Amino acid sequence: MDYLPIYLTLTDKPCLVVGGGGVAERKVALLQRAGARVHLVAPALTPDLQRQADSGAIEWRRGVFEDADISGRQLVIAATDDRAVNARVSELCQTRGIPVNVVDNADLCSFIVPSIMDRSPVLVSVSTGGASPVLARQLRARLETLIPSTYGRLAAMAEAYRDRARQAIPDEARRRHFWEEVLQGPIAEMVFAGRDDEARQALEDALSGKPAARAMGEVYLVGAGPGDPDLLTFRAVRLMQQADVVIYDRLVAGPILDMTRRDAERYYVGKEKDNHAVPQEGINQLLVDQARQGKRVLRLKGGDPFIFGRGGEEIETLAQEGVPFQVVPGITAAAGCASYAGIPLTHRDYAQSVTFVTGHLKAGDLDLNWPALVQPRQTVVFYMGLTGISVISERLIEHGMSPDMPAALVEQGTTPNQRVLIGTVRTLPEIVQQAGVRAPTLTIVGEVVSLHEKLEWYQAEEHVPGTVFSSHGQAGRG
């Protein structure tokens, strides 16, 4: 081990930064986060540092570095582009035993600054000893995905109960086991879900020796997004990897399902036209039953659970049955598919509003507010509209939309198999038939579709570039 990792208390301590450029600005910000009183010496400052000096947030001496500048300092950072100055700062500090860091020169440092993940009071630092700062930042970024931002609140709660725990559980081994259960069990999950009062009450009950209620699990209602695993949120990934049971839909992409625990029980409850693997009422009851067995239940839904995902119906049942739950939003298909197709849903020159509607047929027709859907300068996105595409085309035209209004079909959006097919409202049914379009496919109608050719950026692996159709339904290149 080339360096001993330590954490310094710098609250209200005088620290010096030599230099006034962008690097110095970052070091000043770091010291301020640690509560230090920052002194700066430099001939000139960046605009932000100048504002801080003018407001008194930092103390600045205009000029070049002098030996006396290090007097009384608890810590010094040299951040100039003058090697001789940096070397002089290092020599003086090390002679007098003052911790010194010279940016990008490990040989002149008595300490180095690691890459820091701040979950105060939890701090995680990663260092390569100066060998590769970029690698240290990459490792920290990976840790960011694993450690919730709420860990700081969990640590603060544990600190508040340390003395109580020491009195209630004198035996050190038992007390350690108690905290292990708290910090990785239901109480911790309550904090992560924002239920701090409930977590504190549970901790009070545990310390007072109150018998625990019958173990109740929890349901995680998680939006899996439109298909690309990289679009999952940090919280979604964390909950996916700790769930005991996975209940998933047809629209959940295989690579996303593979990110769940391998030993978790899996239940497929997908729905297709006229073919529901499990009725909605059965899904609701399955969630309740599994949670009552004390299991952590992942309800994984394509897109966002609250946009045509029946998430509201499911958590309504959970709330009625007293089952704890969390809801994790996902990127809805409209946002994800439109982005990957290079079609902005709103644009100052084309559309000032966007409407999401379901295109699912009922008794062979669509009961929609058609006049509201043909308003000018609006984008309309149809979910589940492939079967009813002819009806959609006919009704929009009947209610006043131009037959030549640009329209797009995005098949398997955000995945390597994505296809973008461009036409008009009139030609949509013809495109679907000729191109053999299959679900899942999203339909986008509006002037913004005309921007696809200019803004297309995502190149799907099997369709490069995306196949498009002209307004007459003829295949072309886009």
Environment class of residue 277 by beta-carbon count within 10 Å: exposed (0-12), middle (13-18) or buried (19+)? Answer: middle
User: In angstroms, rounded to a whole number, what is the distance separating the alpha carbons of residues 230 and 48?
Assistant: 35
Environment class of residue 12 by beta-carbon count within 10 Å: exposed (0-12), middle (13-18) or buried (19+)? Answer: exposed
Residue of 228, 249, 295, 301 marked active site: 249
| 249 is annotated as an active-site residue | yes
Determine whether the annotation assigns residue 254 to a binding site. no
Are the beta carbons of 413 and 332 closer than 8 angstroms?
A: no
Note if the bond before 305 is cis, omega within 30 degrees: no
Q: Mention every residue, 6+ apart, whose C-beta is less than 8 A from residue 162.
A: none
Question: For tokens 């509560």, what's the residue?
Answer: 35
Determine whether the annotation assigns residue 333 to a binding site. yes
Question: For tokens 């399955």, what's the residue?
Answer: 286
The DSSP line for 402-432 is -TT-EEEEEESTTSTT-EEEEEETTTHHHHH
Residue 414 falls in which region: left (phi positive, over 0), alpha (psi -120 to 50) or beta? left
User: In angstroms, rounded to a whole number, what is the distance separating the alpha carbons of residues 105 and 112?
Assistant: 9
- Angstrom CA distances, 293 to 238, 240, 245, stand at 21, 18, 11
For residue 324, which of 213, 178, 204, 211 has the smallest C-alpha distance?
213
Determine whether the annotation assigns residue 244 to a binding site. no
Determine whether the annotation assigns residue 307 to a binding site. yes
Note if the bond before 465 is cis, omega within 30 degrees: yes
Are the beta carbons of 392 and 365 closer than 8 angstroms?
A: no
Determine whether the annotation assigns residue 43 to a binding site. yes
For residue 89, which of 144, 103, 27 has the smallest C-alpha distance?
103
User: In angstroms, rounded to a whole number, what is the distance separating the alpha carbons of residues 413 and 383?
Assistant: 12
Are the beta carbons of 207 and 165 closer than 8 angstroms?
A: yes
Determine whether the annotation assigns residue 23 to a binding site. yes
DSSP strand E in 242-333: where?
245-248, 265-268, 271-272, 275-276, 296-301, 325-328
For residue 386, which of 434, 439, 328 has the smallest C-alpha distance?
439
Are the beta carbons of 379 and 451 closer than 8 angstroms?
A: no
Determine whether the annotation assigns residue 413 to a binding site. yes
Residue of 271, 274, 301, 454 marked active site: 271
Determine whether the annotation assigns residue 190 to a binding site. no
Determine whether the annotation assigns residue 6 to a binding site. no
| 271 is annotated as an active-site residue | yes
Annotated binding site for NAD(+): 22-23, 43-44
Q: Which residues does the annotation mark as catalytic?
A: 249, 271
Annotated binding site for S-adenosyl-L-methionine: 226, 302-304, 307, 332-333, 384, 413
